[in-house]
């Protein structure tokens, strides 16, 4: 069987698939479920300086080809994640731990990152792309703000840091983002967060399917995959192996994971399918990927990474 072991920066992963930051990763009990599964790593909810309840319900809905959500960063607050990180690492010492860091405003990021330096996290994923906080723009769509935020957080402590990016749609924006990102010694790029401010309407009730922001929310699942693949590929083309790239968006099968691998991803995260199928999805997707690699005579994921063929 072909190997699906991989590497994110200096961190070794036993397989190619783990959970996306966001779904079912808020509490210690939820993180234990991920730890006991075949997920290659454990990723926590993005945390803020203080606990947040998030947006009002209903704020998540499964759809025919994915999901829509406007969660609003519900989390236990950074102090809780510093504490529970040590518990998680004691219980699952061989599984890499990635703690998400977020902020409602610029001033929150250095507070959160500084506190997370005392955590047991192997890496931090700084969320520059949450589309569901009322009244707040996505930092990564403002390149000056992204530069300012990265300059600040990268100067704090020595925990390896990666960033969660929003979907970009214009080649100029890819190039501008890459110019900013290349200034910093990041461990990885996570591409992508959900497509922000989609609207799904139920024609029977004549109302949106979620409540916050008048029904506008982040679109995930299969709807997102072509955009996520494009982002992984474009950043791989622009930045090569300077950073590991984690693909996220519409990974339901091993074939989906293989497509991200061909585009240049070093690993994939799964969100919507984890919500819908539960923790068994990690092992299933990774096994399907291994079978594809074997059938195509790739000995490892590294042999196939970035090998997208042009027509």
Render 29-68 in DSSP notation, one character per residue: HHHHHHHHSS-SSEEEEEE-SS-B--SPSP-EEEETTEEE
Residue 130 appears among annotated catalytic residues:
yes
> Of 47, 130, 190, 191, which residue is the catalytic one?
130
Of 40, 34, 33, residue with least CA distance to 15: 40
Q: How far apart are CA 111 and CA 107, in angstroms?
A: 7
Q: How far apart are CA 232 and CA 129, in angstroms?
A: 15
Q: What is the longest distance spanned by two Cα atoms in the chain?
A: 53
129 Cβ contact list (under 8 Å, min separation 6): 138, 139, 140, 164, 165, 166, 192, 193
Q: Are 153 and 181 in contact (CB under 8 A)?
A: no
Dihedrals phi, psi of 248, to nearest 5 degrees:
-150, 130
Of 252, 98, 105, residue with least CA distance to 164: 98
SS3 30: helix
Q: How far apart are CA 20 and CA 190, in angstroms?
A: 9
What DSSP state is assigned to residue 300? B
**Active site (catalytic) residues:** 130
């Amino acid at each position: 069987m072909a190997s699906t072991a991989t590497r994110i920066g200096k961190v070794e992963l036993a397989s190619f698939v783990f959970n996306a930051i966001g779904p079912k990763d808020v509490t210690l009990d939820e993180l234990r479920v991920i730890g006991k599964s075949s997920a290659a790593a454990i990723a926590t909810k993005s945390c803020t300086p203080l606990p947040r309840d998030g947006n009002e319900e209903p704020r998540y809905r499964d759809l025919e080809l994915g999901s829509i959500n406007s969660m609003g960063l519900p989390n236990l607050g950074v102090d809780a994640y510093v504490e529970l990180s040590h518990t998680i690492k004691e219980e699952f010492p061989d599984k890499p731990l990635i703690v998400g860091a977020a902020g409602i405003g610029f001033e929150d990021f250095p507070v959160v990152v500084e506190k997370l330096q005392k955590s047991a996290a192997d890496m931090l994923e700084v969320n520059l792309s949450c589309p569901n906080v009322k009244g707040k723009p996505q930092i990564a769509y403002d390149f000056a703000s992204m530069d300012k935020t990265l300059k600040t957080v990268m100067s704090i402590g020595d925990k390896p840091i990666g960033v969660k990016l929003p979907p970009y749609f214009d080649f100029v924006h890819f190039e501008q983002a890459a110019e900013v990102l290349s200034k910093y010694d990041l461990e990885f790029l996570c591409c992508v967060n959900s497509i922000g401010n989609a609207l799904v309407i139920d024609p029977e009730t004549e109302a949106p399917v979620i409540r916050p922001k008048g029904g506008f929310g982040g679109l995930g699942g299969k709807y997102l995959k072509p955009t996520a693949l494009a982002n992984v590929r474009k950043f791989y083309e622009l930045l090569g192996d300077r950073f590991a790239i984690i693909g996220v968006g519409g990974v339901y099968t091993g074939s989906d994971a293989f497509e991200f691998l061909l585009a240049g991803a070093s690993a994939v995260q799964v969100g919507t399918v984890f919500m819908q199928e539960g923790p068994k999805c990690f092992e299933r997707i990774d096994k399907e990927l291994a079978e594809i690699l074997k059938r195509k005579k790739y000995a490892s994921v590294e042999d196939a990474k970035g090998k997208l063929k042009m027509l």
